[in-house]
Chains A and B, each alone.
Chain A
Amino acid sequence: MKTITKMFTALGLAVALFAAPAHASGGGQKNAEDYDFSFEGPFGKFDRAQLQRGWQVFKEVCSNCHSLKYIRFRNLTEPGGPELPVEAVKKIAAEYEISGEVNDEGEPITRPGRLSDAIPAPYPNEQAAKAANNNALPPDLSLIVKAREGWYYPWYISPFIKLFKGNGGAEYVRSLIAGYEDPPHGEEKEGLNYNPYFPGHWIAMPPPLAGEDVEYADGTKPTLIQEATDVAAFLAWASMPKMEERKRVGLMTLLYLGVFALLMLMVKKSLWSRVEH
């Protein structure tokens, strides 16, 4: 039986090794370019200045077509995020016109935005968004970094890569925005653009950024890759606004459990040292 078990193990390993190159070259899907964001790892935090720059890119460019419905203006001021000054965000919110409410006479009204309002969507509804975008719906970006993956590794590596690098959603967004290319062999598709990072390679969204699209207040040079990195970081925050709190509480929890476990190990050892077992 030992030999049978060994045979099976060897067979499994052989299958894995031979299947590897086939898998890696099979999909034709390009891995996102790896990038060390400040918020990666167990102690990683968001870079406030980067989130503020990313918000600027989102507001001035992305928000023309994409909504960010789960983010409220007040979130921009809260700890663990861009931490913009409250007064500045109040002003930004007031620039937006909020509709959909009625006054005491029951007539529809519009009013300036407040801190508690969600960031208004660029289109009143899905149909309007599609009609304005060649029948493609620009997705809401609140969860885009969590909902997308950046890596395409074979099954026996993928779980380990993801454990240490995450799903690669922020890297995907960054690579996608800055990764438009001329299609190979001069191929063209009506209303679609070639992007090797997009699943299937043909994406309805035209290149959203070209570099020099915004003027950063902090003097950072707005190159294409800089803008893409900043907005990817901002959208990562939008996907997980409680990340810093989560990691902080996690550290305390693990320390607490670790000390408690160590004490219990000592209790257990001293108890059991008195009996044969």
Chain B
Amino acid sequence: MSGHSTYEFKNPIARWVDERLPILSVVRGQLVDFPTPRNLNYWWTFGGILATMLVIQILTGIVLVMHFTPHTSMAFDSVEHIMRDVNWGWLLRWMHANGASFFFIAVYIHIFRGLYYGSYKAPREILWMIGVIIFIAMMATAFMGYVLPWGQMSYWGAVVITNLFSAIPVVGDQIVQWLWGGFSVANPTLQRFFSLHYLLPFVLAALVFLHVWALHVTGNNNPDGIEVKSEQDTLPFHPYYTMKDLFAILVFLMVYAAFVFYSPWYLGHSINFAPANPLSTPAHIVPEWYFLPFYAMLRAIPDKLGGVIVMFSSLIILFFLPWLDTSKVKSLKYRPLARQFFWLLVIVCLVLGIAGAQPAQGAWLLVARLATAWYFIHFLVILPLLGFIEKPKPIPASISEAVLGKAKA
């Protein structure tokens, strides 16, 4: 799968360059000829969609930085300056703010696609683990980005999240002060968050490079979860998947544009249009929607340190997923029992998201606790057991057989 293309460049300049730095044959081999399973469905287009969103975020971000002022007394004003006085500033700002949300929409679909089709299993464990690191880095980036406009929710979100680290025994308070750069969330905090928010996307880009590299070593998984056996099973990446991905990207961008232009602050919080005020705590401090399931887990545990441990464990556990799932079969297409539990997990995650937006008390607290418990039971008990209990359906011998079988039917 990997290695250089054997393609001979006809153009003498191209051949001259390629003999010295084989960049053209790498592009040719990895982006044009790259053999891709012929049975990928539209759930596989989210990789391309995510790459597009990362580029949009970096480009809009770079221009926004040219007009933004990272100082507690000027950050909020400078965002309004962007919205009102900078040419197309409103477009950049809303593309960037909604871009974060749509980045997460795409990444959640991408992750659940991986869960459904067993894309984390051998030989793709490292590909999956790099993906989990990307997800965590994305969350850190998004959190720090949300603090920058220095509105009420920016400020209080930063207070709540940085305070989590005070739960660490013995050195907790020192760590929090180190994160703040002082004794409260203040200007030094805003400035370091700004610095890191600019740095992390490039780290993300590097991680994405590794993710794609790992992908190009093992090749794509596919809806049938069978490894590629012969050339018959594959199609060249270009034009088949470049054109299909481009179509999917455009459809995704249309939904994104609908929000950017017609409901640009729908996914945010109205209270963030009020400048940060350390003396006035909002009635409900709620993170952005994409953090809600984790926020629900955090608050489900009555103990602060316990809550922090559970919340971070929910991410760490994903690193062990390739070994927690004991089934030899990858795709849930052939695992009727595991499929039921997959959809139950989806519902549990949605319920956690809803619970995370509600005050942590009464029935909602109970719901959050049950859902949190189920999340861990799913990964730690159900998945390991299913491999032994479940009797998978017969699997086609090859991708081409699966495809031709479908064509005949």
Contacts and interface: CB of A to CB of B under 8 A. Distances in A.
Interface of A: 1-2, 4-5, 8-9, 12, 15, 19, 42, 70, 75, 139, 142-143, 146-149, 155, 162-163, 166-167, 169, 199, 239, 241-242, 245-247, 249-251, 253-254, 257-258, 260-261, 264-265, 267-268, 271-272, 275-277
B343 to A, nearest CB: 6
A251 B262 CA distance: 9
B391 to A, nearest CB: 13
B261 A146 contact: no
A5 B260 contact: no
Given A5-B340, A261-B250, A264-B250, A147 B271 contact: yes
Q: Which 7 pairs, one residue from A and one from B, show the smallest C-beta to C-beta distance? A: A250-B261, A1-B340, A147-B273, A261-B250, A264-B247, A146-B273, A143-B273
A155 B83 contact: no
B260 A4 contact: no
A250 B262 contact: yes
B140 interface: no
Contacts of A148: 270
B240 A250 contact: no
Given A242-B83, A250-B262, A257-B257, 4 more contacts: A239-B273, A257-B250, A264-B247, A275-B38
A257 B274 contact: no
A143 B262 contact: no
Contacts of A167: 265, 270
A142 B254 CA distance: 30
A205 B372 CA distance: 45
B254 A261 contact: yes
Nearest to B232: A276
Contacts, number: 112
23 contacts: A15-B363, A19-B363, A70-B80, A70-B84, A75-B84, A143-B273, A146-B265, A147-B271, A147-B273, A147-B274, A149-B270, A162-B266, A163-B263, A242-B90, A246-B261, A247-B261, A249-B91, A250-B257, A250-B258, A250-B260, A254-B254, A260-B250, A275-B235
A199 B283 CA distance: 10
B246 to A, nearest CB: 5
Contacts of A267: 243, 247
A19 B240 CA distance: 50
B39 A277 contact: yes
A260 B252 CA distance: 12
Given A8-B344, A12-B351, A254 B244 contact: no
Nearest to A250: B261
Given A8-B347, A267-B243, A143 B261 contact: no
Interface of B is mostly: helix
Interface residues of B, number: 50
Interface of B: 38-39, 77, 80, 83-84, 90-91, 94, 235, 239-240, 243-244, 246-247, 250-251, 253-254, 257-258, 260-266, 270-271, 273-274, 283, 337, 340-341, 343-344, 347, 351, 354, 357-358, 363, 367, 400, 403-404, 407
A19 B358 CA distance: 13
Contacts of A142: 80
Contacts of A271: 239-240, 243
Interface of A is mostly: helix
B90 A143 contact: no
Contacts of A239: 273
A277 B271 CA distance: 50
Given A5-B340, A142-B80, A277-B38, A257 B253 contact: yes
B344 A5 contact: yes
B257 A275 contact: no
Given A242-B83, A276-B403, A1 B341 contact: yes
A137 B186 CA distance: 23
A265 B247 contact: yes
Contacts of B264: 246
A258 B254 contact: yes
B336 to A, nearest CB: 8
A247 B257 CA distance: 11
A9 B351 CA distance: 11
B354 to A, nearest CB: 7
A277 B233 CA distance: 9
Contact of B358 (A155, A245, A253, A268): A155
Contacts of A242: 83-84, 90
Given A143-B274, A169-B270, A264-B246, A1 B261 contact: no
B266 A163 contact: yes
A242 B83 CA distance: 8
Contact of B403 (A9, A245, A260, A277): A277
B84 A241 contact: yes
Nearest to A150: B270
A42 B259 CA distance: 11
Contacts of A1: 337, 340-341
**Most chain A C-beta atoms within 10 Å of own C-beta, residue among B84, B263, B264, B358:** B84
A169 B260 CA distance: 19
B365 to A, nearest CB: 14
Nearest to A172: B270
Contacts of A272: 240, 244
B188 to A, nearest CB: 24
A264 B241 CA distance: 12
Contact of B262 (A4, A155, A247, A265): A247
Contact of B261 (A163, A249, A261, A275): A249
Contacts of B253: 257
A167 B145 CA distance: 23
Nearest to B400: A276
A233 B403 CA distance: 59
